[in-house]
């Protein structure tokens, strides 16, 4: 198989030898030019002056009198004209989307040499269609008729009316915009193309009389290109070579052949290229379905290894005849990381969207931070979620890990919903990022400084790695993977730096703009920028996008994303010009796009020996899981020329039956449990006992291993904080009456003292919510509302307490620490805190407050320990434990337990705990039975033979923090 460009090189070197430098080759892309140069050098076998290589765009630019204008600059210019002509007050932000679309439409119109006046004509009246159309073709007239018939009358359709209003000004806008560009000596690509084509049409040949051009491997020519090529052909200055060798490309039924006949007839070749040295062999085509996007990259590893093993890649260090083609650039990084070690050099000739880089995500977080600045006590403050997103960003962690971590801890410790400027740690990067921006003009410098700092930090990381971690083997194999990743990051940062500079320069004349608009523009600009990778020129495995394959041939092709909608790409209708008009005026439509894509595909595989096509089989989200139509065409239309096989890589995605998680009490775990034995430092509590009953494994996680849920900044008052504030309020209120008698009047007096209640509410919020006890502050917004709910709960509790008056308040938060004998040789530490203790007559009331609702009645003691049933009355077990220990410390006391459920306290509520509907006036009569079960449970906990197993009652797992660990 001789590559197309090799045959060109052979033909022209044979023909012109040393004189070849007098010619200029015009190719579809730069890569093709490099390959052609390489082949010429190989054939010559000695140094010679190389001919010039240009892309078709470069040729037009070289013949034009204009300089290519910057896109952002053009958008600003177009916007200013639009506002002047339309009188619209539309913001730049809103204009951006369709301003961009208009630029593309103007570009298309000029490349297709369309009469813009006729295209953008304003048809107020159907009869005006008959005027002034004489110079248009029948097709164009029909298109205009069809389009405007559909659009009139406009009454009743707001969308059509709006369209017509904009359409009305398009020609004026187009003209004014072009005039300004012309005056500045600048142009968009289409404008350059039109200028050069018109010069060619007017036979202004003097500017390009000096050279001979050889056009190689082009296909979809625009009318402007056709005009120039014709003109150069007529002057005898041009020769043309088309790559239409592949049989499917020559099939008139195949869309790939869309332009062939016309091009060959219009632009014939002077020489006949040598036929390939071998007849076309059957190309091996393997279609591989993979149920994941990144999984395709993993398959690349296997395919390359197979090619190396089989000798299809004879020298893995120099795999230049093998290409990986990526129709979806998102797969570039996964693919790069999947290339086997044996492949020495990799040459990436495609862009990787700047917007996919990690510096892009950092800038997005910075934008959010700056767009949501707040002021707290006269100081700039940042919303905690934006701050945390930045602190967790890999680039910030890389440069300021210690300070970022301590700031995160500080935010949590003080529950900072907004983080004041003064609390940002003193670190150069954090100081740079957390500098408030007031005007868009400041953003450029601000970002530049951040980028410079990050770049330097990455350089230091590299130096450190080079001096320490790199093994001999890694050095031998070239750059280690981590270093490649650092290089990539640095490249992205440099590109972002340049992009910011460009944006700042272009916008220097722009008027008012918000910080938000500026960041929006940057994002948009970044989306349009691809970082091109430049490896060793022409050596190693080639990784490229579809367009980069034009004119180049490979023996082994691995094409990823062979999904319908990706390759060929789905039609994107980014045009203001309706399809009928596009068609009528000969502007590119999706039919053209289909033909162009088909040509790229069939030409690319035309000389390959092996083609591996990978596709994503998934059907979720935007994925259709559908194989590209090209494969089906190969299979059903061109089968005799290919040896086709198909397979789907199956991953076992069925979730394995997860084995139950059980923790055996090893010697180590028993040692940890010993910590709870009398005389040691750890204590059991009523809530840990409830944990054990609900799930022994959960007890193990919390009590033995000390695991807990991750703490979060609480933006709203969560249930636990709500409960703590309520407890505190009741404690403050009753502490004034310690060991005194509480009468109905006392309770009524407290409940009606609003000023006092407000004051203690602020104190309790400062302690438990703002975590700043020294500085109580007035409650605002949602805190005020929650404060009012608490106020009403307090009043209702005081109301409920009326039924026990007169009573003596003994204390709140009564704490006990006790050694509890379980059996011989086993005494355990226990501690607890009883919310409140009163004396009513001869009875001691043990009171517990609960924020929710729950039972106050139970049937049997055993129900308190039975986790198999839902709604186990764990609240009652808790007050029984309190009763047990209170009695241990105060034997002979008559104890009555009570639980105040705040959700129930509004109704006619009696908080007394009842056994089978009878209020318990003396808990001691239940203690024998309770203690027996309690001891048995404690024996289990400390029994080395009883493992910590998962609960059988999966309802208990519903809100458990360890669900993920347990696969529940
Ligand atoms: S998820 Fe279920 S089984 Fe696992 S610890 Fe929590 S409650 Fe126990």
Q: What is the structure's pLDDT at 100?
A: 84
Q: What is the structure's pLDDT at 470?
A: 44
Dist. CA 55–CA 155, nearest whole Å: 49
The rounded Å distance from CA 443 to ligand 1 centre is 50
Antiparallel, parallel or unpaired: β 530-532 and 351-353: antiparallel
Dist. CA 747–CA 42, nearest whole Å: 103
User: Within a 13 Å sphere around the CA of 568, how many CA atoms are in the beta-carbon half?
Assistant: 22
Dist. CA 367–CA 363, nearest whole Å: 6
Q: What is the structure's pLDDT at 70?
A: 85
Best residue for ligand 1 mutational test, from 950, 955, 959 (most atoms within 8 Å of Cβ): 950
Nearest CA owner, ligand 1 atom 2: 957
At residue 521's C-alpha, the angle toward residues 517 and 526, to 5°, is 150
Q: What is the structure's pLDDT at 222?
A: 96
Q: What is the structure's pLDDT at 69?
A: 92
Q: What is the structure's pLDDT at 391?
A: 95
CB neighbour list of residue 47: distance below 8 Å, 6 or more residues apart: none
Q: What is the structure's pLDDT at 337?
A: 80
Lowest mean pLDDT among 65-69, 163-167, 315-319: 163-167
Q: Is the pLDDT of residue 649 over 90?
A: no
State which ligand 1 atom lies nearest to the alpha carbon of 950: 3
Helix (H, G, I), strand (E, B) or coil at 410: helix
Q: What is the structure's pLDDT at 477?
A: 42
Nearest CA owner, ligand 1 atom 3: 950
Q: Mind listing the pLDDT tens digit for each residue in 205-249?
A: 565 656 799 999 999 999 999 999 999 999 899 999 999 998 899
Best residue for ligand 1 mutational test, from 700, 870, 872, 957 (most atoms within 8 Å of Cβ): 957
684 backbone φψ class: left, alpha, beta (φ>0; ψ -120 to 50): beta
The rounded Å distance from CA 409 to ligand 1 centre is 28
User: Within a 13 Å sphere around the CA of 562, how many CA atoms are in the beta-carbon half?
Assistant: 29
The rounded Å distance from CA 713 to ligand 1 centre is 25
Element (H, E) at 919: strand 918-919
Average pLDDT of the segment spanning 420-426: 94
Average pLDDT of the segment spanning 158-167: 70
- Report the first-to-last Cα separation within the chain, whole angstroms: 59
Best residue for ligand 1 mutational test, from 690, 693, 698, 948 (most atoms within 8 Å of Cβ): 698
The rounded Å distance from CA 710 to ligand 1 centre is 17
- Is the CB of residue 70 less than 8 Å from the CB of residue 570? no
- Is the CB of residue 548 less than 8 Å from the CB of residue 359? no
The rounded Å distance from CA 659 to ligand 1 centre is 13
Helix (H, G, I), strand (E, B) or coil at 674: helix
Which of 512 and 555 is assigned the larger pLDDT?
Answer: 555
CB neighbour list of residue 409: distance below 8 Å, 6 or more residues apart: none
Dist. CA 356–CA 363, nearest whole Å: 12
- Is the CB of residue 607 less than 8 Å from the CB of residue 553? yes
Q: Name beta bridge partners: 215.
A: 26, 240
**How long is the chain?**
968
Q: What is the structure's pLDDT at 707?
A: 83
Lowest mean pLDDT among 344-353, 448-457, 728-737: 344-353
- Is the CB of residue 177 less than 8 Å from the CB of residue 69? no
Best residue for ligand 1 mutational test, from 661, 693, 956 (most atoms within 8 Å of Cβ): 956
Average pLDDT of the segment spanning 851-876: 90
Helix (H, G, I), strand (E, B) or coil at 17: helix
At residue 644's C-alpha, the angle toward residues 640 and 649, to 5°, is 170
Average pLDDT of the segment spanning 17-21: 91
- Is the CB of residue 140 less than 8 Å from the CB of residue 585? yes
Q: What is the structure's pLDDT at 89?
A: 79
State which ligand 1 atom lies nearest to the alpha carbon of 954: 2
Best residue for ligand 1 mutational test, from 872, 951, 967 (most atoms within 8 Å of Cβ): 951
Dist. CA 761–CA 786, nearest whole Å: 10
Strands of 533-622, DSSP E: 541-544, 556-559, 610-616
State which ligand 1 atom lies nearest to the alpha carbon of 963: 1
User: Within a 13 Å sphere around the CA of 398, how many CA atoms are in the beta-carbon half?
Assistant: 20
* Alpha helices in 577-666, H assignment, sequence order: 579-584, 590-606, 629-636
Q: Mind listing the pLDDT tens digit for each residue in 570-619?
A: 766 578 887 778 888 889 988 888 899 999 999 999 999 999 999 998 87
Q: Is the pLDDT of residue 906 over 70?
A: yes
Nearest CA owner, ligand 1 atom 7: 957
The rounded Å distance from CA 207 to ligand 1 centre is 82
The rounded Å distance from CA 913 to ligand 1 centre is 29
Average pLDDT of the segment spanning 641-665: 76
Q: Mind listing the pLDDT tens digit for each residue in 762-814?
A: 999 999 888 888 889 899 888 898 999 999 999 999 999 999 999 999 999 89
Q: Is the pLDDT of residue 430 over 50?
A: yes
State which ligand 1 atom lies nearest to the alpha carbon of 960: 6
Average pLDDT of the segment spanning 692-713: 85
State which ligand 1 atom lies nearest to the alpha carbon of 694: 7
Helix (H, G, I), strand (E, B) or coil at 544: strand
Q: What is the structure's pLDDT at 697?
A: 94
State which ligand 1 atom lies nearest to the alpha carbon of 968: 1
The rounded Å distance from CA 831 to ligand 1 centre is 25
Element (H, E) at 364: helix 358-371
State which ligand 1 atom lies nearest to the alpha carbon of 957: 2
- Tell me which residues have their CB closer than 6 angstroms to ligand 1: 695, 697-698, 950-951, 956-957, 960, 962-963, 966, 968
The rounded Å distance from CA 931 to ligand 1 centre is 26
Q: Mind listing the pLDDT tens digit for each residue in 390-410?
A: 999 989 999 998 999 999 999
Average pLDDT of the segment spanning 26-55: 92
Model confidence at 294, pLDDT cuts 50, 70, 90, reads: confident
Q: Is the pLDDT of residue 182 over 50?
A: yes
The rounded Å distance from CA 950 to ligand 1 centre is 6
The rounded Å distance from CA 967 to ligand 1 centre is 9
Q: Mind listing the pLDDT tens digit for each residue in 104-161?
A: 999 999 999 999 988 887 554 444 545 555 556 666 666 666 665 555 544 556 666 6
Q: Assign 3-class secondary structure to 304-329.
A: HHHHHHHCCCCCHHHCCCEEEECCCH
Q: Is the pLDDT of residue 460 over 70?
A: yes
Nearest CA owner, ligand 1 atom 5: 698
Nearest CA owner, ligand 1 atom 4: 966
Q: Is the pLDDT of residue 655 over 50?
A: no
Q: Is the pLDDT of residue 260 over 90?
A: yes
Dist. CA 453–CA 459, nearest whole Å: 10
Q: What is the structure's pLDDT at 143?
A: 64
The rounded Å distance from CA 673 to ligand 1 centre is 20
The rounded Å distance from CA 63 to ligand 1 centre is 75
Q: What is the structure's pLDDT at 482?
A: 54
The rounded Å distance from CA 951 to ligand 1 centre is 6
Model confidence at 348, pLDDT cuts 50, 70, 90, reads: confident
State which ligand 1 atom lies nearest to the alpha carbon of 965: 4
Model confidence at 330, pLDDT cuts 50, 70, 90, reads: confident
Element (H, E) at 101: helix 92-111
Dist. CA 688–CA 775, nearest whole Å: 34
Q: What is the structure's pLDDT at 721?
A: 87
Q: What is the structure's pLDDT at 530?
A: 72
The percentage of residues in the chain with a pLDDT greater than 90, rounded to a whole number, is 59
Indicate the average pLDDT of the chain: 87
Q: Which among 372, 779, 298, 747 has a CA at the least distance from the CA of 558?
A: 298
Q: Is the pLDDT of residue 202 over 90?
A: no
Q: Mind listing the pLDDT tens digit for each residue in 611-648?
A: 999 999 887 655 567 899 999 999 999 988 899 999 99
Dihedral (CA of 505, 507, 513, 516) sign: negative
Q: Is the pLDDT of residue 378 over 50?
A: yes
Lowest mean pLDDT among 45-59, 233-247, 272-286, 492-506: 272-286
Q: What is the structure's pLDDT at 773?
A: 85
Dihedral (CA of 728, 730, 736, 741) sign: negative
CB neighbour list of residue 903: distance below 8 Å, 6 or more residues apart: 851, 852, 853
Query: Could you please report the per-residue DSSP string of 284-295?
Result: EEEEEEESSHHH
Q: What is the structure's pLDDT at 867?
A: 86
State which ligand 1 atom lies nearest to the alpha carbon of 696: 8
The rounded Å distance from CA 939 to ligand 1 centre is 21
């Amino acid at each position: 198989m001789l590559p197309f460009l090799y045959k060109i090189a052979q033909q022209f070197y044979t023909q012109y030898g040393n004189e070849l430098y007098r010619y200029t080759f015009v190719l579809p892309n730069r890569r093709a030019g490099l390959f052609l140069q390489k082949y010429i050098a190989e054939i010559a076998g000695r140094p010679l002056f190389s001919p010039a290589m240009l892309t078709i765009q470069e040729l037009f630019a070289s013949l034009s009198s204009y300089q290519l204008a910057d896109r952002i600059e053009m958008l600003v210019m177009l916007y200013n004209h639009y506002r002047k002509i339309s009188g619209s007050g539309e913001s730049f932000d809103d204009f951006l989307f369709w301003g961009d679309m208009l630029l593309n439409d103007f570009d298309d119109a000029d490349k297709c040499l369309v009469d813009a006046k006729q295209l953008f004509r304003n048809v107020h009246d159907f009869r005006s269609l008959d005027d002034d159309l004489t110079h248009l073709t029948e097709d164009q007239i029909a298109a205009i008729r069809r389009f405007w018939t559909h659009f009139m009358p406009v009454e009743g359709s707001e969308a059509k009316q709006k369209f017509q209003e904009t359409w009305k000004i398009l020609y004026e806008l187009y003209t004014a915009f072009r005039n300004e560009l012309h005056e500045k000596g600048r142009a968009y690509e289409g404008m350059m193309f039109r200028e050069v084509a018109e010069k060619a049409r007017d036979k202004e040949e003097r500017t390009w009389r000096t050279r001979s051009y050889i056009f190689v491997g082009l296909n979809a020519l625009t009318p402007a290109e056709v005009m120039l090529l014709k003109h150069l052909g007529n002057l005898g200055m041009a020769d043309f070579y088309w790559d239409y060798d592949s049989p499917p490309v020559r099939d008139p039924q195949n869309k790939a052949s869309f332009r062939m006949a016309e091009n060959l007839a219009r632009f014939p070749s002077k020489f006949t290229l040598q036929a390939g040295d071998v007849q076309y062999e059957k190309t091996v085509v393997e279609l591989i379905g993979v149920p994941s996007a990144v999984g395709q990259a993993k398959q690349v590893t296997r395919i390359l290894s197979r090619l190396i093993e089989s000798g299809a890649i004879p020298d893995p260090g120099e795999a230049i005849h093998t290409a990986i083609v990526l129709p979806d650039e998102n797969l570039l990084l996964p693919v790069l990381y999947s290339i086997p070690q044996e492949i020495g050099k990799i040459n990436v000739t495609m862009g990787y969207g700047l917007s996919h880089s990690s510096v892009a995500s950092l800038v997005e977080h910075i934008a959010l931070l700056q767009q949501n600045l707040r002021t707290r006590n006269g100081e700039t403050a940042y919303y905690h979620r934006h701050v945390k997103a930045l602190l967790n960003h890999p680039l910030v962690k890389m440069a300021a890990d210690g300070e970022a971590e301590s700031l995160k801890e500080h935010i949590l410790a003080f529950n900072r919903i907004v983080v004041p400027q003064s609390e940002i740690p003193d670190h150069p990067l954090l100081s740079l990022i957390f500098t408030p921006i007031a005007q868009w003009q400041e953003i450029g410098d601000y970002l530049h400084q951040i980028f410079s700092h990050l770049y330097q930090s990455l350089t230091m990381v590299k130096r450190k790695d080079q001096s320490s971690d790199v093994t001999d083997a890694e050095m031998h194999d070239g750059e280690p993977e981590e270093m490649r990743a650092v290089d990539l990051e640095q490249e992205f940062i440099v590109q972002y730096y340049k992009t910011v500079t460009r944006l700042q320069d272009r916008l220097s004349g722009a008027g008012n703009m918000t910080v938000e608009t500026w960041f929006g523009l940057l994002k948009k600009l970044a989306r349009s920028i691809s970082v091109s990778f430049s490896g060793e020129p022409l050596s190693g495995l080639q990784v490229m996008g579809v367009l980069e394959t034009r004119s180049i041939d490979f023996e082994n092709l691995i094409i990823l994303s062979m999904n319908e909608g990706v390759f060929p790409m789905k039609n994107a209708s980014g045009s203001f010009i309706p399809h009928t008009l596009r068609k009528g005026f000969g502007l590119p439509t999706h039919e053209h796009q289909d033909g162009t894509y088909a040509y790229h595909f069939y030409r690319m595989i035309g000389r390959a020996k092996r083609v591996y096509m990978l596709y994503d089989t998934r059907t979720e989200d935007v994925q259709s899981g559908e194989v590209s139509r090209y494969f089906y065409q190969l299979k059903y239309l061109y089968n005799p020329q290919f040896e086709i096989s198909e397979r789907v890589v199956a991953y076992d995605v069925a979730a394995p039956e997860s084995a139950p998680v059980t923790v055996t009490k090893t010697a180590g775990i028993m040692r940890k449990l010993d910590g709870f034995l009398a005389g040691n430092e750890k204590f059991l509590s009523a809530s840990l006992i409830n944990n054990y009953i609900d799930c022994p494994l959960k007890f193990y996680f919390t009590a033995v291993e000390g695991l807990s849920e991750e703490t979060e900044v609480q933006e709203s008052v969560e249930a636990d904080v709500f409960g703590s504030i309520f407890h505190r309020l009741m404690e403050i209120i009753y502490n004034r009456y310690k060991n005194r008698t509480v009468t109905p009047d006392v309770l009524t007096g407290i409940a009606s003292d609003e000023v006092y209640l407000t004051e203690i509410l602020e104190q309790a919020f400062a302690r438990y919510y703002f975590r700043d006890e020294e500085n109580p502050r007035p409650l605002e917004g949602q805190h005020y509302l929650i404060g009012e709910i608490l106020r009403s709960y307090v009043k209702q509790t005081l109301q409920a307490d009326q039924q026990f008056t007169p009573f003596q308040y003994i204390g709140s938060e009564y704490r006990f620490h006790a050694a509890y004998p379980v059996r011989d040789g086993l005494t355990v530490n226990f501690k607890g805190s009883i919310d409140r203790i009163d004396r009513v007559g001869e009875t001691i009331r043990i009171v517990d407050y609960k924020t929710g609702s729950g039972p106050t009645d139970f049937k049997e003691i055993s129900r308190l320990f039975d986790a198999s049933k839902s709604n186990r009355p764990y609240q009652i077990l808790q007050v029984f434990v309190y009763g047990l220990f209170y009695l241990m410390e105060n034997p002979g006391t008559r104890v009555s337990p009570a639980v105040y459920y705040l959700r129930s306290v509004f109704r006619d509520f009696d908080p007394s705990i009842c056994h089978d509907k009878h209020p318990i006036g003396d808990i001691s009569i239940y203690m024998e039975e309770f203690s027996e079960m309690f001891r048995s449970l404690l024996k289990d906990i400390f029994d080395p033979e009883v493992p910590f197993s998962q609960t059988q009652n999966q309802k208990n797992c519903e809100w458990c923090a360890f669900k993920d660990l347990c696969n529940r």
